[in-house]
Amino acid sequence: MKFGRHDYDINFANKPIELLMPYTNIEKGFVGDRYGELIGVSSLPKGIDYAANIPSDWLAP
């Protein structure tokens, strides 16, 4: 709560937020990848949590 009350312009503008956020836990158990860059992959695998860099025709209508 204390962190959220800081004034953005004074404390955070033009600074890399990754160095300012009070991270207490980094979740490393997510399953995913940049699938659009992998050779031989033409669709998303089952059971993934996220996907990046995928062609638009891989998205469900």
pLDDT in tens, 30-40: 999 998 888 88
Q: How is residue 61 annotated by DSSP?
A: -
DSSP 57: G
pTM: 0.52
- d(Cα 55, Cα 49) in Å, to the nearest integer? 17
Q: Is the pLDDT score of 61 beyond 70?
A: no
Of 44, 6, 34, give the one whose Cα is nearest residue 22: 6
Q: From CA 29, how far away is CA 11, in angstroms rounded?
A: 31
Report the first-to-last Cα separation within the chain, whole angstroms: 40
pLDDT at 6 over 90: no
